[in-house]
Structure 1
Amino acid sequence: MFTRNNAIARHGSGPMAVLRAFLSQIHPVFMLPPLAASWFGSILAGEFSLFVGAVHMGAIFCAVYTAHVKDGYVDFHVRNEDDDHPLTVTGCRIALAGAALAFIAALIGLWALAGPGAALLTLPTWVIGYLHAPQLDMHPIGATMGYPLGIALTIVSASYVQSGIVPLESLAFGLVFLVLLSGVKTIDDAQDYTYDSSIGKPTVAVVLGQDTARRVAYGIMTVGLGLVMGFAVGGVFPPSTVLAVGVFAPVAAIAWRKSPTLATMLLIRGAYLFLASLIAAVWFHPFV
């Protein structure tokens, strides 16, 4: 029989067990890029307010936290895919409700600080997070592009929040990350090929086969890098952004022959370096 404490946390008792259960849904590998993308979008706007940027980042944190909790809830409590989960069903619902309320508060703040457009452009990030499972992840496009689309919207909405407009540069960077990260996500999903195929979960790897999915993923990533080159040549991006291509491409080349698990680890870290290189290029303009 559940006590008041373990009605929320499945392991341990007391307030610290509950706190650990809630904090367990913060996954740094997937949480840090959206938060960094929020500040990247602010930087693209030119001069920016740290306070407004912090409110936007808070909204994005709530959106990604929602995605993590909902995904864990569905995979463990609904689909029985995962071996364990720190939160009970009640705990998951409390976490989702808390994240939703915090997100609404952040939206109200963005509305007050930057107008209704800021709130409306940020709202879809939470919708994507909430619908990731079990809606979006049951279709190859939704499973692959949900997270990248969230990153793209984060960049665009952060720029709008700071400037009141959607700069062409932020739209272009959003497109680059949508494309590049869709390739990375295709490799990431291939890690679960055996299990996904056994339950009929239609990821790109399941639909196309692992070898074809890898070729498609690398084709998508190549297009993403090509967009950076094209936008740099066309004057949309600073010329120094081409250095980011030189940072990511060698990592992708090393990952080509690796297992999906190792390839994903390499590509995610390569994406971190790619984003860091773009931030440096936009912030410092070393070639100008």
Structure 2
Amino acid sequence: MALARADRGIDATARAFWSQVHPVFMTPPLAASLFGAILAGSLETTLAVIHVVAMFAAVYTAHVKDGYVDFYVRGEDDDHPLTERGCRVALALSTALFALCCLLLFVFVDWLAVALVVPTWVIAYHHAPQLDMNPVTATVGYPLGISLSLLGGFYVQAETFAAVPLGFALVFLVLLSGIKVIDDTQDYAYDRSIEKRTVAVLIGPQRAYTLAYGLMMTALLVVVGFAVTRVFPPTAVLAALAFAAVGIVARRAEPELATMLLIRGSYVFLAVLVAAVWFEPLSGVF
């Protein structure tokens, strides 16, 4: 039985599997993992690669499962590159890869490293059709996965926790939750028609916008506060200013463009934070 819907053969199947790699949403979790490793101060390449691959497998699982549910279960999408069997095979392969990474982390690090990684797959697999039907889990699922990726990336290197990665994990959770609320307003009409209870459906698009920008502003103020108290490097304030500039522009845009701007603004935010930490390494741990 074919794995790709459009055509047969190895090339067509490979393209269908690769189509489930969505760089816009795949990049932040992988970057967060590497950012966590950088925060640890000393980088063990093998451990960093294992953790990044685990995050890749988790996000790939989310993309395949989400696409399967949207096309074959809900009928939301007009097309999907994989057959139903192809989706099951892709899920089996990504889960097997994730399990292998967990085993390696258990052997090379410890059980706590695995405990930080496993929830990312759970969130990914259950995002659709379970978690995305609730306003809280639909909003915080992806941001929580990124926060766990950052903490896990740090832990597999340092085998301990520290104030800085915990602070950054909190910031990303709040900031990205705000972006996710904006993203969900794009589908307000459709989500409401199928009783999908996103924040926008629950409180209305205008109030959702106000809440979203409130969350993002809160995250930026936390960055400034941590920088002032020297929990974060002082130059982390530049990251807050850079994202604030993007947020001001996005505030005047419609949801689709605003989401695109804010996601790319989060890339800039992360890049400036990496630079700030790179030139002022983490020095204190609990």
Shift of 1:129: 0.5
Query: Equivalent residue for 1:87?
Result: 82
Quick one: distance in 1 between partners of 2:224 and 2:257? Answer: 27
Q: TM-score, normalised by structure 2?
A: 0.97
Report whether the alignment pairs 1:159 with 2:159. no
Given the alignment, which residue of 33, 38, 48 partners 1:38?
33
CA RMSD of aligned residues (A): 1.0
Query: Equivalent residue for 1:13?
Result: 8
Query: Equivalent residue for 1:61?
Result: 56
Report whether the alignment pairs 1:170 with 2:156. no
Report whether the alignment pairs 1:138 with 2:133. yes
Quick one: distance in 1 between partners of 2:79 and 2:229? Answer: 50
Query: Equivalent residue for 1:217?
Result: 212
Given the alignment, which residue of 262, 265, 285 partners 2:260?
265
SS of the residue 1:228 aligns to: helix
Query: Equivalent residue for 2:277?
Result: 282
Q: TM-score, normalised by structure 1?
A: 0.96
Shift of 1:285: 2.9
Query: Equivalent residue for 1:230?
Result: 225
Moved more, 56-65 or 234-243: 234-243
Shift of 1:115: 1.3
- Percent identity between the aligned chains? 58
What residue identity is the alignment partner of 1:146? G
Query: Equivalent residue for 1:112?
Result: 107
Moved more, 71-80 or 109-118: 109-118
What residue identity is the alignment partner of 1:35? L
- 1:76-133 Cα shifts (integer Å, max 9, x gaps): 1011111111111111000000000000001111111111111111111111101111
SS of the residue 2:187 aligns to: helix
Quick one: distance in 1 between partners of 2:111 and 2:153? Answer: 13
What residue identity is the alignment partner of 2:153? A
Given the alignment, which residue of 193, 196, 208 partners 2:203?
208
Shift of 1:167: 1.3
Quick one: distance in 2 between partners of 1:269 and 1:30? Answer: 10
Query: Equivalent residue for 2:284?
Result: none
Structure 2 unaligned runs (5+)?
282-286
Q: Is the 8 A contact 1:179 1:223 kept in 2?
A: yes
Quick one: distance in 1 between partners of 2:199 and 2:111? Answer: 37
Given the alignment, which residue of 71, 74, 77 partners 1:76?
71
Given the alignment, which residue of 182, 185, 189 partners 2:180?
185
What residue identity is the alignment partner of 1:106? C
What residue identity is the alignment partner of 2:235? S
Quick one: distance in 1 between partners of 2:229 and 2:118? Answer: 31
What residue identity is the alignment partner of 1:41? G
- 1:216-270 Cα shifts (integer Å, max 9, x gaps): 1000000110110111112211111000011100100001011000000110110
SS of the residue 2:235 aligns to: helix
Quick one: distance in 2 between partners of 1:46 and 1:123? Answer: 24
Given the alignment, which residue of 226, 242, 250 partners 2:245?
250
Q: Is the 8 A contact 1:240 1:285 kept in 2?
A: no
Shift of 1:168: 1.4
Report whether the alignment pairs 1:22 with 2:1. no
What residue identity is the alignment partner of 1:26? V
What residue identity is the alignment partner of 1:22? F
The one of the two structures with greater contact order (alpha-carbon pairs below 8 A, sep at least 6) is 2
Quick one: distance in 2 between partners of 1:239 and 1:263? Answer: 28
What residue identity is the alignment partner of 2:71? F
